[in-house]
Amino acid sequence: MDGELFELTINRFNDPDFELVIAARKGNEDAFSELVQKYSHQVFSLSMRILNDYGEAEDLTQEVFIKVFKKINSFKGKSKFSTWLYQITLNAAINRLNYLKKRRHYDSGFINETSVRGEDEDYGIEVSSNERTSEEDYIGKETYHKIIEEIYALPEEFRVVIIFRDLEEKSYQEIAEILKLPEGTVKSRIHRAREVLKKKLEPYLKDGEK
């Protein structure tokens, strides 16, 4: 127990969720609820980016937090809680995706528009209210779907890093921690993934074309 506490103590000063995690481990339901409140949208977002299916992503989000609830006592504080949560989400989402692929649920691997619920009719997904697209950020519907299509067509190891870096906007260090890879490996993997995307999206990369 002392050893365990020591491990947890290491992260007291660099994990903003440390106190909540400790309280949740002691059975404090409000603390666990606060963690869910804080991270449920992020877990859903990552699930959605990987599975590309609204219903599946919602189910997976619930599944992830049940796992976290069951396993929180085994969380040793070697990484940040958020990193641990992303690892669980990523593993669960990849497993689910592979299962669905086996069942031919994803015929083309392309976006399942009908399963996406949101406010933007053109895209089938919502633009966060505080992140409305500027003129610069605006892309046409066809371009949007083409980019998504090419990201989903990437091999899994490339797709995951692109989702984390370019869509979820995580730092290289965070991605390295989540994937348990050296940061250099992550950087090189992202570069290779972007090289593939660059070739696939060549017609869209000329100045003025969007």
Partner 1 sequence: MKREELLKKIDLYIEGELSGKELEEFNRLVEKCPECREEIQKYRNLLKLTHAVARYKPAPPPNLHLKIMKKIEEERFREKSSPLLHFLVPALTLALILAIIAIPSFLNLTEESSVPASSHRENRNITLTENKDTLQNMQGLTSPSPAPDEASLKLASEEFNDFINTIQNQRKKLENKITYIYPITSSASWKKLAEYLRLSDEPVKIAIRPIIKNRNVDYVDLISHLDEVRNTNPYVEIEDASTSTRVAGNPGAGVVLQISVLK
Minimum distance of partner 1 from residue 12's CB (angstroms)? 25
Distance CA 85, CA 92 (A): 11
User: Which residues in the 12-51 window bind partner 1 by CB under 8 A?
Assistant: 29, 32-33, 36-37, 40-41, 44-45, 48-49
User: Which residues in the 155-174 window bind partner 1 by CB under 8 A?
Assistant: 162, 166-169, 172
Minimum distance of partner 1 from residue 153's CB (angstroms)? 14
Q: How many residues form the binding site for partner 1 (CB under 8 A)? A: 61
Taking phi over 0 as left and psi of -120 to 50 as alpha, with beta for the rest, 104 belongs to left
Write the interaction track for partner 1 spanning residues 53-92; mark x where CB under 8 A is met and - where it is not: -x--xx--xx--xx--xx----------------------
Distance CA 11, CA 18 (A): 7
128 binds partner 1 (CB under 8 A): yes
Minimum distance of partner 1 from residue 189's CB (angstroms)? 11
| Residue recorded with tokens 């299962």 | 99
Distance CA 38, CA 118 (A): 21
Distance CA 57, CA 63 (A): 10
Q: Which stretch binds partner 1 (CB under 8 A): 9-17, 89-97, 134-142, 174-182?
A: 134-142
**HSE-up of residue 114 (Cα within 13 Å, Cβ side):** 0
Distance CA 56, CA 48 (A): 8
Q: Which stretch binds partner 1 (CB under 8 A): 3-11, 81-89, 135-143, 153-161?
A: 135-143
CB under 8 A, 24+ apart: contacts of 188-192: 189/157, 189/158, 189/161, 190/161, 190/162, 190/165, 192/158
Site of interaction with partner 1 (CB under 8 A): 29, 32-33, 36-37, 40-41, 44-45, 48-49, 54, 57-58, 61-62, 65-66, 69-70, 116-120, 123, 125-128, 131-133, 136-139, 143-144, 147-148, 151, 162, 166-169, 172, 187-188, 190-191, 194, 197-198, 201, 204-207, 210
